Amino acid sequence: MSDEPAESILEIEPVEGGLRVRGQVDLSNVEAFLEAVTDKAAGAAELVLDLGGCTYMGSEGIGVLIEALKSLEGGRLVLRSPSGIIMKVLDLAGLSKLPNVEISR
């Protein structure tokens, strides 16, 4: 982990088919999140993001998910266990309506 405690609030670790995201995604760590996600997404048929431990995601996080979709080039983005408010954000961003996005609560 980073020595900077304020940034260590976001933990990203590999899981089968994707990444587990824990903590809060915001402007302080969005670059690291973007890099991790687009790395995994590049050329993959499917990317799973387990959001079960993700307690905050606003517009910056949505931007990353949209970049992930671009990197997937038609592949599927699977979002697991988003919290109630993150689900609302996904709805507002229109992500939950996209055919290549699957959300499992």
Residue 8 in contact with other proteins, rule: CB under 8 A: no
3-state DSSP helix/strand/coil % of the chain, to nearest 5:
35, 35, 30
Shortest separation between residue 98's beta carbon and other proteins, angstroms: 15
Residue 58 in contact with other proteins, rule: CB under 8 A: yes
Cα 94 to Cα 66: distance, rounded to the nearest angstrom: 10
Residue 24 in contact with other proteins, rule: CB under 8 A: yes
Of 85, 73, 27, 29, nearest in space to 47 by CA = 73
Which range, of 12-20, 46-54, 61-69, 74-82, touches other proteins by CB under 8 A?
61-69
Residue 63 in contact with other proteins, rule: CB under 8 A: yes
Cα 60 to Cα 58: distance, rounded to the nearest angstrom: 6
Number of residues that bind other proteins (CB under 8 A): 24
Residue 95 in contact with other proteins, rule: CB under 8 A: no
